[in-house]
Each structure stands twice: as C-alpha cells, then as structure tokens.
Amino acid sequence: MSPREDAVLSTMQDVPLLISRILTHGSTVHGTSQVISWTGEGEPERRSFAEIGARSAQLAHALREDLGVTDGERAATFMWNNSVHVEAYFAIPAMGAVLHTLNLRLPPEQLAWIVNHAADRVVIVNGSLIPLLAPLLAKLPTVEHIVVSGPGDRTPLEGAHARVHEYEDLIAGKPTTYDWPELDERQAAAMCYTSGTTGDPKGVVFSHRSIYLHSMQVNMTQSMGLTDQDTSLVVVPQFHVNAWGLPHATFMTGVNMLMPDRFLQPAPLAEMIESQRPTHAAAVPTIWQGLLAELTAKPRDVSSLTQVTIGGSACPPALMAAFDELGMRVCHAWGMTETSPLGTVSRPPAEAVGTEREFEYRLTQGRFPTSVEARLTGPGGERLPWDGESAGELEVRGPWIAGAYYNGQDAEPLRPADKFSEDGWLKTGDVGTISADGFLTLTDRAKDVIKSGGEWISSVDLENALMSHPDVTEAAVVAVPDEKWGERPLATVVLKEGSTADFTSLRAFLADEGKIAKWQLPERWTIIESVPKTSVGKFDKKVLRRRYAEGDLDVTKL
C-alpha cells in the first residue's frame, strides 16, 4: 500500500482495532458467557468472561508493576488450553506487550532456540508442564520470571536463575480494571514460531489489526458461524496458531469455551462432551480418529455436538462420513501459522446444498473469504486459471497473512524468496486447484509432490486411495529418485493387525475403478509400523525420505 498524499479523507472516527477492545466487549456485553476448564476430577472450573476480564486486568498490573514488563517485550506461555491461558491471551497484548505462545511438543533444543530468538522475559507455565520446562531453563538466559499456574510439583524449578512466582499470588489484590493503552493497530500483539521441517523455526508476528480482523471473520456466517448459544470445545492447542482464533473470536460474540487442559486422550474428551454438552469442536483429524474409535468402543451421548471444524490436515472422507452418521457435521478449514490461520472454510455453495455435490464440496479445503486473495503459480512460475483442474502452488495475500518472518528486535524482517513472492504474497508451499467459485482443493505439499517425467503426481491422492482400503490403517507416499522418470512414488503402508493383504493386491485396489491413473501407480512398496509424525501430528515425510535414502526401509519393487 502506498497511501496517496492527496487522498480525500473520510469523516469517520479513527479508532484502532485493538485486542483490549475485544476483551472489554466480551467481559461486559458477554460477561455471563463462560470458559469451562477441565480439571480431570470433579466439576470443571468455570470462569465467566466478566471474571476473566477482571483477572486479565490484574495480570496486566502484575506484569507491568511487579515484573516490569514494558511495551513490546515478549511474555511467553507454556500452557495447555485453560482459562488462565485465555487471561494471558488478553492481558499481554492489551497492555502493549507481545504474547509468545510456546509449542510444548517441540524438541527441547528447538524450544530453547525459539525462546532465545524471541528474547522472552517472562514465561507463564502450567504446573503440570514444569517437568518439560525446568530442564531447559539453564539455556534460557533472557527469562527473568517464571509464573506458575495450576497443580504440579514446583521443586524442579528450585535453583533456577529466574524468579519463580505463583500466578494466583501475583495477581491477588491487584485492581480489576486497567486503563488499556491506545496502541497503533499495526503494533505486534502475539507471535508464534512455525515448526518448520527445514532450517530454523520462523517467527510469525500477529498484529492487533490482524487478530481483530481475523476474529471478525471467524464469526462471519460462512466461517465458524457460532453464537452465544454455542459452546465450543477447543481441542486445537492455544500454542497452535492462537487455537485457530477461537479465544479472540468467542469474546466478540459470547461463545462459551470448553477447554480440555492436558486431558486430550479420547476417553476424557468423550466424557467432556457427554457432561458439558458442547455444540462445536475444533481439532486436527488425528484427534477425531481417536475419538471415533473411543465412541465405537464405548458409546456416549454426544448428541449436543453438531458442528466440528477440522483443520491442520485434510479429513479423510471415511472419517467425515462416520461423523455424519453420528450427527456431527464436519467442516473443513485450511490454514497455516502464516495465515492466522483462517484461509478457507468448506461451506458448500447454495446450489450444491442438498445435492450429490454437497459432500464433494465438503471434502475440498473450502472457499476463500473476502480478505484472503488467492492465486496459483505453476511449475514454471506462470499464473494458472481457477478452473478446478490446473494444479499449482497456492499463494495468498491479505490483512491477516504474513508478509515476512521475525528476525529479532531492531532487525529487518526476513523475506526468504521461497516463502514470499517479489510482490509480497505468501507462497504457502501447498499445491492444489481452485474452482471457478473459489473452492480450494489441495493435493500436496510442494515439497511432497512427485515430479515424474515432467508431470506431477499427488502423494495425497495416493494416500487417500490407499487408506480407503479396509486393511490399511495409515499410508504415506513419498518421492524417491528414479533413473528413468526423475522421481517415482514409494508407498509406505501400515496394515491392520492380522491382515494378509499383499502389495500386488493393494496396487490392484488402487487401479480399480479408475481411482488412480495407471502411470501414477507406485512400483515401490514397503510395510512400516507407523507413519512418523511431526510435533503437530502431521505425516513427517522428511523422515521417510531419509530412511529410504539411508537404506533403512525394506522396499519391494513390483
């Protein structure tokens, strides 16, 4: 944007879009809405939005006055989803500091690297996570204060160079209101590092403006579309792209939140659903796969839950159909840390509703909202049409899309050429098609696509087809070098216990009914025990490629 010097300005008020505004609104107009946090025993903890507003003000006072946190400084959280984490979500940015959510599933070295890169001064930690944090502390010289919330043994923190505080003691007696500052809406509000599979983690810094606009979008009818009559079970972690924006969005409309804390196993999730009766839930597919198995083994009354938002990776069609049977309507969403994350939501268009095409639309990644512009770039850099056929790398642009990565205080942001186009669009690294009516279908990660003889083979299409075989539990397909074709697919398959399926029959299954074109069928096959996963539960194909390269897989060539 190059503002015009001679632009005729409007007579509208110049009011910034700030997170403090969302907090003030939610804790007054929707003051009776609740955050319900699972504790694992007895009744869950219930805090009204009004209480959370008051406690957020107390936390801001404590951070500023007791811990000396000043404008723009980073205060980190190392926490599960719970009401105290929601307080940190609001207090830290609203007072002018930067919330840094730490992904507690990252390897210790990566975590230390990230805390040091962000120069976090404060870490708020759940007591139950002290065993993960304490061993790192010696490597975190910038951390001056540890604030502990909730049950858990504190002794591992003894002897740390940082001062240790109890969250409840710290905020006790502080004023329950705070004169939130009038900030620039483009100021940093929160940051989150991507768990990149190559190179160092990359910091994405969200602004007050980007979070505010994103929250409005989440509440638009064709996104999650919840109201204050809903309760959302927020399984997606708060350390994972702001829990898809739910903590902010719910404070705009009074949606109740049900927070699972550390109880993310299928059994307690089923128990939460039965007892607290949420109407909506948000999580990655692996969680739902587990929940489905649990509900099959031990049926529960989960009838309250009618809407499920699935993101992070594509929902297998069989899983979507199974949830339909249970009366839970799955809605796909696509996004990434760099997109805040809401990129697309798969609400079928009016003309498909009630027709055979409805399910097809639901299987796509979904439709772009107004604020997310999209384009496809082909292998040669050419722009591809929105015809539902031409596959290219997805590039996006918009007010809640990253245009750079954080490079440390006072340093110029990073804009690597493989991540950002010359004209500032984000290169998502995802390959897919866009239909004329703006529905995105992703077929692959750019790095996972198999380049065979100048054509692209989608590893994901092969995986989905394989996983629809009754004997296949999981399957991952990776590109391996091939003398004749450049690359060819290698199918790695996890079979159900006791299965007698062999590679020839699996290959025939893929070819059957035109599921997969003949030239795309894998020649190379191997059985593995389980597909390696990244810290956020995605297939880690980098590991499979490495194991193949190192001769560590027993490959059969048909």
Could you tell me the smallest distance in angstroms from the CB atom of residue 520 to a second copy? Answer: 31
Which two structure tokens, joined as six digits, stand for 31? 């003051």
Task: Kindly tell me which of 170 and 426 has the beta carbon lying closer to a second copy.
Answer: 426
| DSSP result, 433-485 | EE-TT-EEEEEEETTTSEEETTEEE-HHHHHHHHHTSTTEEEEEEEEEEETTT
Task: Kindly tell me which of 162 and 211 has the beta carbon lying closer to a second copy.
Answer: 211
| DSSP result, 342-356 | --EE-PPPGGGTTST
Task: Kindly tell me which of 151 and 424 has the beta carbon lying closer to a second copy.
Answer: 424
- Nearest C-alpha neighbor of 128 from the set 110, 104, 144: 104
Could you tell me the smallest distance in angstroms from the CB atom of residue 180 to a second copy? Answer: 12
Cβ neighbours of residue 555 closer than 8 Å, sequence gap 6 or more: 490, 524, 525, 526, 548
Concerning whether 377 is annotated as a catalytic residue, the answer is no
Question: What are residue 203's DSSP bridge partners?
Answer: 193, 406
Separation CA 46–CA 43 (nearest Å): 9
Could you tell me the smallest distance in angstroms from the CB atom of residue 496 to a second copy? Answer: 41
Region of 331 on the Ramachandran plot (φ > 0 left; ψ -120 to 50 alpha; else beta): beta
Task: Kindly tell me which of 173 and 181 has the beta carbon lying closer to a second copy.
Answer: 181
Concerning whether 538 is annotated as a catalytic residue, the answer is no
Separation CA 177–CA 386 (nearest Å): 51
Could you tell me the smallest distance in angstroms from the CB atom of residue 340 to a second copy? Answer: 8
Could you tell me the smallest distance in angstroms from the CB atom of residue 337 to a second copy? Answer: 11
Q: Which residues of 82-118 are buried (b: 16+ CB within 10 A; e: fewer)?
A: bbbbbbbbbbbbbbbbbbbbbbbbbeeebbbbbbebb
Task: Kindly tell me which of 44 and 398 has the beta carbon lying closer to a second copy.
Answer: 398
Which two structure tokens, joined as six digits, stand for 151? 């049950």
Could you tell me the smallest distance in angstroms from the CB atom of residue 162 to a second copy? Answer: 23
Which two structure tokens, joined as six digits, stand for 470? 């009754």
Concerning whether 176 is annotated as a catalytic residue, the answer is no
The residue from 271, 286, 360, 451 that is catalytic is 451
The residue from 73, 87, 185, 338 that is catalytic is 338
Task: Kindly tell me which of 157 and 426 has the beta carbon lying closer to a second copy.
Answer: 426
Concerning whether 541 is annotated as a catalytic residue, the answer is no
For the annotated catalytic residues, the residue numbers are 194, 338, 451, 456
